[in-house]
Amino acid sequence: MPQTAHFKEKISFQKHKKMADEIAKICPISPNVYDAFCQSERELFVPQGMSMHAYKLDALPLAANQWISSPLTVAKMTEALTCKGADSVLEIGCGSGYQALILSKIIRRVFTIERIERLLKEARERFKLLGISNIHTRFDDGQNGWREFAPYDRILFSASTPEVPPRLFEQLKVGGILVAPIEKGNKQIITRFIKTEEGIHKETIGDCLFVPVQDGREF
């Protein structure tokens, strides 16, 4: 590797690691999640002109009135999934693709759905640029799920919802985990659902802030 390229890569890794350290001070995260943040190039997933803010713990605006979540929120959602031992994950709401990138570092197969075509095209370009082959994308209303590859070990909502559609629980394995920001009045609560033989067990994790899930596809 040329010396200049090696230097840039080293500087970039230092930025990733510093951000991961800041996250870990606020939100305890497991080693595999910490490593995923250290290995993920967030500057490629933020809008042009905002790269200087890529490694701050802030949400940033995207096209179509959407947002790339704060790295801290991404960490909380990823940790809530309890990814150890999971082979497949379905994400509802690809957005910029950054959450899918993090998941791709710790789960073998990532399936992500986006209803806004422009955002999905941009995310696909980023995945291609990074040479990532284990993220599979679909242009659709994520609330329909993706039956072709179900059942999934994990399902993650990257948008808030008043309730989880039953069809998504149908696409979750028994013993699987679904994490979603559930709307409660004027608050959003990260909620973990565990599917058992007896039914769905629910746990609340903490407050969060996401754009709301919407119906249909947007071209």
Among candidate residues 183, 217, 167, 179, the one with its CA nearest the CA of residue 73: 179
Tell me if 143 sits within 8 A of 215, measured CB to CB: yes
Give 165's DSSP letter: -
Using alpha carbons only, give the angle 191, 72, 133 rounded to the nearest 5 degrees. Answer: 85
> Of 106, 119, 108, which is closest to residue 78 (Cα–Cα)?
106
Helix (H, G, I), strand (E, B) or coil at 152: strand
- Phi, psi dihedral angles at 45 (to 5 degrees): -110, 0
* 51 is annotated as an active-site residue: no
What separation, in Å, do the N-terminal and C-terminal C-alpha atoms of the chain show?
41
d(CA 192, CA 182): 10
Which residue in the list 40, 69, 88, 160 is annotated as catalytic? 69
Calpha distance 175→190 (Å, rounded): 19
Measured distance CA(170)–CA(40) in Å, rounded: 31
Asked if 217 contacts 115 with a C-beta cutoff of 8 angstroms, the reply is: yes
Which residues are identified as catalytic?
69
